[in-house]
Amino acid sequence: MSLDLPLVFTGVMGLAILMYVVLDGYDLGVGMLMPAGNPEEQGLMVATIGPFWDANETWLVLGIGVLLAAFPIAHGVILGALYLPVAGMLIGLMLRGVAFEFRIKAEGWHRDLWNWLFWFGSFLASFAQGLMLGRYITGFHPGFGYWAFAVMTGASLCGGYVLLGATWLILRTEGELQRKAFGLARWGLLWVALGVALVSLATPLVSGTVRAKWFDFPNTLGLMLLPIASVAAWVVVWRATGRMRDGATSRDWLPFAGSVAIFVLAFAGLGYSLFPFLLIDRLTIWEAAAHPSALWMLFYGVAVVVPFLAGYTAFAYRVFGGKVRALTYG
């Protein structure tokens, strides 16, 4: 039986994007939380992401690379329509990368400047990604209302990354910084609820295909498990952060695991809504796919790269797991 290569690469691209959102999402969130800490706590925040942050972005490179090589038509349309937000995201990622390296050696107001640039780069990259999401799921339609929706989606994704960052700090730190993270996680949860609600309302309104997929009752009753599970995960994180803030911290992995579950479930719902289109109601994965010979060449490369990348990621998180201490360079 021959492989349906466009379907395979859609799965690889989806996996890469999800991995990037979760993994780079928490370290972008930690960057946006920098102003909440004092100088000592800021050093701890950076230490929690120090071994991982650069490698996390590899998943973004993989996802964009698969889009370019496997679906060149969609790549041209999507990135052409999102040129300015993509440029903003890249500027933000560069700023935070430079600030991460320089802040540890700087002193006085120079360190404050690099800390501020680390925050700003994290915020700019996060907001640009949310703006891209908002434009993408509304089919790049022009008009003030569509752009206002994209701006709200950008703000909501920033809040979602703050949730991931705060729950990551709960997992990796102790003491006063961990206690601060409980309240910050709850603030992020509210933004996540807004973001999921916005996307859930917008996609059926924009697309009749999406509307039929979700609201063709009773055939779609089984799909209600997705939003129910999302609400359950949201409640678990809300209750866990409340209890743990009062002193019960033996399950400090639970808020981060629940937050990841929210993102995974939301991503699954969005993927179901859009499939099989790469451009909503306009271009399917098979219409956008490259020539089969190019797909086969890419397949062999991906078959090597993806297991290696997944193995390295798992190894790094195992080696550098546990509670952290301040990051220093001797």
Complete DSSP assignment for 130-166 = HHHHHHHHTTT--SHHHHHHHHHHHHHHHHHHHHHHH
pLDDT (0 to 100) of residue 86: 93
How far is the CA of 57 from the CAs of 25, 148, 194, 248, 259, in angstroms? 10, 28, 26, 34, 20
Question: Please, is 10 exposed, middle or buried when counting C-beta atoms within 10 Å of its C-beta (0-12, 13-18, 19+)?
Answer: buried
Contact 162, 33 (CB under 8 A): yes
Is residue 330 included in any domain, yes or no?
no
Per-residue pLDDT of the chain (330 residues; tens, 9 = 90+): 467 999 999 999 999 999 999 999 999 999 999 998 888 888 889 888 888 888 888 999 999 999 999 999 998 899 889 999 999 999 999 999 898 888 877 777 788 898 899 999 999 999 999 999 999 998 898 888 889 999 999 999 999 999 999 999 999 988 888 889 998 999 999 999 988 888 888 888 888 888 888 877 777 777 888 889 999 999 999 988 887 666 556 678 899 999 999 999 999 999 998 899 998 888 999 999 999 999 999 999 999 999 999 999 999 888 888 888 765 544
Domain membership flag for residue 134? yes
Asked if the structure places residue 153 within a domain, the reply is yes
Structure tokens at 235: 């409640």
**Domain presence at residue 286:** yes
Q: Please count the other Cβ atoms lying within 10 Å of the Cβ belonging to residue 31.
A: 30
- Structure tokens, 89: 């995201």
Across the chain, which distance is largest between two alpha carbons, in Å? 65
Residue 329 lies in a domain: no
- Is 328 among the domain residues? no
In a domain, 326, yes or no: no
Decide: residue 101, CB within 10 A, 0-12 exposed, 13-18 middle, 19+ buried. exposed
Q: Which domain holds residue 132?
A: 5-319
pTM of the model: 0.92
What CA–CA distance (Å, rounded) separates 90 from 221? 41
What H or E segment, with its residue span, contains residue 8? helix 5-32
Q: For residues 126 and 158, is the Cβ–Cβ distance under 8 A?
A: yes
Per-residue pLDDT at 50: 83
pLDDT at position 249:
61
CA nearest 185: which of 104, 255, 137? 255
What pLDDT score was predicted for residue 1?
42
Q: What is the predicted pLDDT for the residue at 28?
A: 94
Estimate to the nearest angstrom the gap between the alpha carbon of 107 and the chain centroid.
32
Report how many domains make up the chain: 1
Q: Answer whether residue 27 is part of any domain.
A: yes
Residue 13 has what pLDDT? 94
Q: Which of 69, 79, 71 is nearest to 288 (CA)?
A: 71
